[in-house]
Amino acid sequence: MLVCICHSVSDKTIKHWVRQQGVTSIRELRQLTPLGSQCGKCVRHAKEVIYNESQLI
Ligand code: FES
């Protein structure tokens, strides 16, 4: 499912970055993608995906 429609970033991609790149925050995520830089509506959901995935590691 797409989390960021503006930049076509899916929850699957974010989960991959959490596991493989050690991403733990939106700041770190935004070093890999422009997620949230257009309308910004995706940031809250992206935070939830990062948090939930990091709890599973
Ligand atoms: Fe992510 Fe618009 S949906 S910036």
Domains of the chain: which residue ranges?
A: 2-56
Check: CB of residue 24 under 8 Å from CB of residue 18: yes
* ipTM score assigned to the predicted complex: 0.98
> Can you point out the beta strands (E) in 1-57?
2-4, 9-10
- Which of 1, 2, 4 to mutate for ligand 1's pocket (most ligand atoms within 8 Å of CB)? 4
pLDDT at 6 over 90: yes
> Which residues are CB-neighbours of 47 under 8 A, at least 6 positions away?
26
Q: Provide the sign of the torsion angle of the four alpha carbons 13, 26, 18, 55, taken in this order.
A: negative
pLDDT at 57 over 90: no
Among the CATH numbers 1.10.10.350, 3.40.50.2300, 3.30.420.40, 1.10.10.1100, which is that of 2-56?
Answer: 1.10.10.1100
The predicted pLDDT at position 7 comes to 98
Per-residue model confidence as pLDDT tens digits over 36-51: 999 999 999 999 999 9
Helix axes 43-56, 11-20, angle to 10 degrees: 50
Residue 12: band (very low, low, confident or very high) from pLDDT cuts 50, 70, 90? very high
CA of 28 to the centre of ligand 1 (A): 16
Mean pLDDT (the chain) is: 97
